[in-house]
Amino acid sequence: MRASRADDLPAISASLRVLRGSLCFLSTNATGDVVSTAPILEARNLARVFAVRRSGGLFGRPAQLHAVDDVSFDLAPGETLGLVGESGCGKSTTAKLVLGLLAPSAGEIRFEGAAVPAPGTAAWRALRRRMQMVFQDPMGALDRRLPVGAQVMEPLAIHGLGEAGARRERAQALLEAVGLGAHHFDRYPHELSGGQRQRIVLARAMILEPSLLVCDEPISALDVSIQAQVINLLLDLQEKYRLAYLFISHDLKVVRQISHRVAVMYLGRIVEEGDPDEILAEPAHPYSQALVSAIPVAAAARRRPRLILKGDPPNPVDRPPGCAFHTRCPVATARCRDDVPVLKALGGTRRVACHVAHGEGGSA
Predicted confidence at residue 293, as pLDDT, reads 87
* Residue 32 in this model has a pLDDT that exceeds 90: no
Cβ within 8 Å of residue 190, ≥6 positions away: 144
Res 48 pLDDT > 60 = yes
Establish if 259 belongs to a structural domain.
Answer: yes
Tally Cβ neighbours within 10 Å of residue 346.
19
- Print the domain residue range for 226: 6-139+211-352
Contact of 39 with 284, CB cutoff 8 Å? no
**pTM beyond 0.85:** no
Does residue 159 fall inside a structural domain? no
* Residue 353 amino acid letter: A
Please report the DSSP string for 31-80 in residue order.
TS-EEE---SEEEEEEEEEEEEE-SSGGGSPEEEEEEEEEEEEEE-TT-E
| Percent of the chain whose pLDDT exceeds 90 | 48
Q: Look at residue 35 and tell me whether its pLDDT is greater than 60.
A: no
- Whether residue 162 is contained in a domain is answered as no
How many residues can be counted in the chain? 364
User: Which one is predicted more confidently, 224 or 10?
Assistant: 224
What pLDDT sits at residue 364?
57
Q: List, for residues 162-180, the tens digit of each pLDDT value.
A: 898 999 999 999 999 888 8
Residue 54 in any domain: the answer is: yes
Collapsed DSSP state (helix, strand, coil) of residue 212? strand
In 3D space, the residue among 94, 61, 123 whose CA is nearest the CA of residue 273 turns out to be 94
Least confident segment among 72-86, 234-248, 292-306: 292-306
The whole-number pLDDT of residue 362 equals 64
Please indicate, yes or no, if residue 132 is contained in any of the structural domains: yes
Residue 69 lies in a domain: yes
- In the chain, the amino acid numbered 179 is G
Q: Is residue 175 part of a domain?
A: no
For residue 237, pLDDT over 60 is answered with: yes
The whole-angstrom distance between residue 219's C-alpha and the CA centroid of its chain comes to 12
The CATH number of residue 336's host domain is 3.40.50.300
Residue-level pLDDT at 34:
40
Distance CA 83, CA 33 (A): 33
Which tens digits make up the pLDDT trace of 109-133? 999 889 988 888 889 888 888 999 9
Q: Is residue 231 part of a domain?
A: yes
Q: Assess whether pLDDT exceeds 80 at residue 57.
A: no
H-type helices in the chain, by residue range? 14-23, 91-99, 122-127, 138-141, 148-158, 164-177, 194-206, 224-241, 252-258, 276-281, 286-293
Task: Provide the domain count of the chain.
Answer: 1
Exposed (0-12), middle (13-18) or buried (19+): which is 184, by Cβ within 10 Å? Answer: buried
Read off the pLDDT of residues 267-277 as tens digits, 9 standing for 90 and up: 999 999 999 99
